[in-house]
Amino acid sequence: MAAAIAIPRELKPESGLVKSSYDNFEITEDYSVPIIDFSLLTSSNPEERSKAITELGMACEKWGFFLLINHGVPESLRKSILEWLEQLFNMPKEELGKLGGNHVMDPVRCGARYFRNRSGEPTEMGYIKLIVHPEFSCPDKPADYRDSVFEYCKRVREIIAELLKGVSESLGLEPDYISKATDLDSGFQRFVSQCYPPCPKPELAHGITPHSDHSLMTIVTDNGINGTQTVHNGKWVNPCPPSGALMVNTCDQLEILTNGKYRSNIHRGFQVANTKRISVVSTVGPSLDKIIVPAPGLLDESHPPAYVGLTMREYYELHQSGNPAGKAMLDLVRIAKKETA
Ligand SMILES: O=C(O)CCC(=O)C(=O)O
Ligand SMILES: [Fe+2]
């Protein structure tokens, strides 16, 4: 039985926009982010593969984030998705809103949402959130892109399944441990996109509330205008992926499953001065009815379970029912450490 959890008031929908202490972190240009070569992770050369798995484990442990190259998603497919989104976000917001519902489990949700600019004023942006697996949902407007969206989502799901195989191995678990423990074949996948308006006053540019994602892993790409920033060592890093590279974040369900060894990363989507920015975010998580708990193989006397189990559905509904700043949602399932005498 999953534990009953009270939702703190500040996470309820009526609370609206959330300010966060992460907003005060400075943005640094001085960094070198981990890059994982997907072709090495799937290489038939055991040495190459083993090295790539070690690098993957390091990236998950030290950053909770990496750039993925040679992933095999055709550029034409990515472009087609962005073309569709461009048309979708050109629709009047009221029309966009009519394409979907309002409940967190509605398969299509879209319309306008808000973030704060630097002076604290709400700024409107377009968004769409689709549930794309195990059932695939996608509006038919604008027409003719459904097959591309389906294909992109399938490719992303396959990449994440392969990455999670490597993650299992990097932890010394069986390659299919995470896939089995999460019932990944029926995993809960979403396709999310946001359209940030250009910011006419660069000094006021800002972004959505810093947060961690609810799933196992998230893959992010954009219309070539980079703006997904990630927290590392108390600073904001803007990784600026090389052309075609995908950004990968580790998420809350992976933190729970690894008992905190691979922690979910805090990130935010940022507005860019004078240019419209469209981000494309794909989250892949456990099957909705699976209760996710720390892997027994990673527990011992000095590493007791650090999180209580919830089903993915419970966790997702809690995560989406408010505006969870930072890791507020994960904090709800964290077990307080026992005081030692
Ligand atoms: O829009 C972005 O750049 C990131 C969005 C994001 O983090 C999310 O949708 O979970
Ligand atoms: Fe996110």
What is the per-residue DSSP string for 87-155? Answer: HHHTS-HHHHHTTS-SSTT-SEEEEEEEEE-TTS-EEEEEEEEEEEESS-----PSTT-HHHHHHHHHH
Q: Is the beta carbon of 226 within 6 A of some atom in ligand 1? A: no
CB atoms within 10 A of CB 202: 12
Test site for ligand 1: of 212, 216, 220, 265, most ligand atoms within 8 A of the Cβ: 220
Q: What confidence score (pLDDT) does residue 328 get?
A: 86
Q: Which pLDDT belongs to residue 339?
A: 61
pLDDT of 338 above 70 = no
Residues 85-96: what's their mean pLDDT?
92
Residue 221 CB neighbours (<10 A)? 24
CB < 8 Å & 24+ apart, contacts of 92-100: 93/124, 93/126, 96/126, 96/128, 99/128, 99/139, 99/141, 100/128, 100/129, 100/139
DSSP string, 220-261: EEESS---EEEEETTEEE---PPTTPEEEEE-HHHHHHTTTS
- ipTM above 0.95 for this complex: yes
Residue 183, in any domain of the structure: yes
More confident residue, 7 or 216: 216
- pLDDT for residue 146 is more than 90: yes
**Is residue 301 assigned to a domain?**
no
Q: Is the residue at 322 inside a domain?
A: yes
Establish if 4 belongs to a structural domain: no
CATH of the domain at 166: 2.60.120.330
The verdict on residue 81 lying in a domain is: yes
Which ligand 1 atom is nearest residue 196's CA?
1
Q: How far is the CA of 312 from the centre of ligand 1 (A)?
A: 20
Q: Is residue 276 part of a domain?
A: yes
Is the per-residue pLDDT at 192 higher than 50? yes
266 has a pLDDT exceeding 50:
yes
Q: What is the pLDDT of residue 239?
A: 86
Residue 302 lies in a domain: no
Find the mean pLDDT for residues 231-246.
91
From 129-138, 227-236, 330-339, the region with the lowest mean pLDDT:
330-339
- Helix (H) or strand (E) holding 66, with range, is strand 65-69
Q: Structure pTM?
A: 0.92
Going by alpha carbons, the residue nearest to atom 4 of ligand 1 is 269
Residue 12 pLDDT? 35
In a domain, 340, yes or no: no
**CA dist 2 to 78, 241, 290, Å?**
39, 39, 10
Alpha carbon nearest to ligand 1 atom 1, residue: 269
How many domains does the chain contain in total? 1
Range of the domain at 326: 9-295+308-332
pLDDT given for residue 31 in this prediction? 81
- What is the per-residue pLDDT across 5-50, written as a single tens digit (0 to 9) for each? 443 333 333 334 567 788 888 888 778 899 999 999 999 999 999 9
Does residue 213 line the site of ligand 1, with CB under 6 A?
A: yes
The secondary structure of the chain in percent helix, strand, coil, rounded to multiples of 5, reads 35, 25, 40
* Range from 92-96, 107-111, 201-205 carrying the lowest mean pLDDT: 201-205
* Averaged pLDDT of the chain: 90
